[in-house]
Amino acid sequence: MNRKHSILDTAKKTIDLERDAIANLSNLLDDDFSNAVELIYNSKGRVIITGIGKSAIIANKIVATLNSTGTPAIFMHAADAIHGDLGLILKDDVVICISKSGNTPEIKVLVPLIKSAKNKMIAITGNLQSFLAQQADYVLNTYVEQEACPNNLAPTTSTTAQLVMGDALAVCLLELRGFSSKDFAKYHPGGALGKRLYLRVSDLSSLNQKPQVSLDTNLKDVIVEISEKMLGVTAVVKENKIVGIITDGDLRRMLSKSENFLGLTAKDIMSANPKRIDEDAMAVDAMEMMETNGISQLLVEHNGNYAGVIHLHDLIKEGII
């Protein structure tokens, strides 16, 4: 077997091994899981998640997922906790300890301190006989038969199982809270996902110039308007109502077909009844309309009046596309 095949074979074995371990997690779920979800859901405090080594990295990710889906959470490193960070834990907080073995020295020191403060504790561990599992109020079993590491040492399959268990917790809590796409946008205002959920057409079109000509505007002035406003398009407007559109493509087609341009006006080259969108519509709806119709610009209206232009480049710039 050559090196390329050997690499691919190892990668496939790793993926298959972790896939099977994850599939088995559903068989390990019991009442402790649902009780843990209810505990967090009914808590007046936050979720404090702790671990050490690779489990600490997984804890950080679970904290991020919980925070972004409506459950306040804080990461506390298990080693730092016994050197002052225990002050993070408040009276009503629920603590989640993550440890594959459940028997690390840091966990053995930390757990009794949590218990003495009378905070409820959830264990995410693969060892039900461990010190952590025996001391926890609820245990989420993340047992895996073996690590993907050929020496069965480096945390690989086990950390994937911890991560998936954390995702399961977060999604259950999300559903209990009725966490909606609008809520998600509120917590992700600066990201592309959030922008797809809250950014409106007017937020983008208001930043553009507003090209417009009348039905009788001559060809030269039409070209100047399109060029100066730099959107590749102009609306044709009568009494502030959209009656047509002229794009730079329309100009090119006209130039290729006509030999006499004298006397041509906007109404001679415009496309009547153009696609348009209300300024209060979502920007993502503008994107879908452009994609469906194979166009790069949409004219924007407000209360039936011409309000501006939204361009495909606006959507790209904001990460909507």
294-321 confidence digits (pLDDT tens): 999 999 999 999 999 999 999 888 877 6
Q: Give the model's pLDDT for residue 191.
A: 60
For β-strands 73-77 and 47-51, DSSP reports them as parallel
Mean pLDDT value across the chain:
90
Distance (Å, whole) CA 155 – CA 52: 12
Q: Where are the domains of the chain?
A: 3-179, 198-317
Q: pTM of the prediction?
A: 0.67
Going by pLDDT thresholds of 50, 70 and 90, the confidence category of residue 114 is very high
pLDDT digits (tens, 9 = 90+) for 41-88: 999 999 999 999 999 999 999 999 999 888 999 999 998 887 878 888
pLDDT digits (tens, 9 = 90+) for 165-190: 999 999 999 999 987 766 666 666 55
pLDDT digits (tens, 9 = 90+) for 254-302: 877 766 777 889 998 899 989 999 999 998 899 999 999 999 999 999 9
Q: Give the model's pLDDT for residue 186.
A: 66
Contacts 24+ apart (CB under 8 A), 232-240: 232/296, 232/297, 232/311, 233/297, 233/299, 233/309, 235/211, 235/274, 235/299, 235/306, 235/309, 236/212, 236/266, 236/267, 236/270, 237/212, 237/213, 237/306, 238/214, 240/305, 240/306
- As beta bridge partners, residue 244 has 236, 272
Q: Give the model's pLDDT for residue 305.
A: 96
Q: Give the model's pLDDT for residue 192.
A: 59
Q: Give the model's pLDDT for residue 298.
A: 95
Q: Please, which residues have CB within 8 angstroms of residue 12's CB and are 6 or more apart in sequence? A: none
Q: Please, which residues have CB within 8 angstroms of residue 231's CB and are 6 or more apart in sequence? A: 208, 209, 211, 297, 309, 311
Distance (Å, whole) CA 56 – CA 62: 10
163 in Cβ contact with 61 (< 8 Å):
yes
3-179 CATH: 3.40.50.10490
93 in Cβ contact with 47 (< 8 Å):
yes
pLDDT digits (tens, 9 = 90+) for 205-238: 999 999 999 999 999 999 999 999 999 999 999 9
pLDDT digits (tens, 9 = 90+) for 13-25: 999 999 999 999 9
Phi and psi at residue 281, in whole multiples of 5°?
-70, 160
Going by pLDDT thresholds of 50, 70 and 90, the confidence category of residue 5 is confident
198-317 CATH: 3.10.580.10
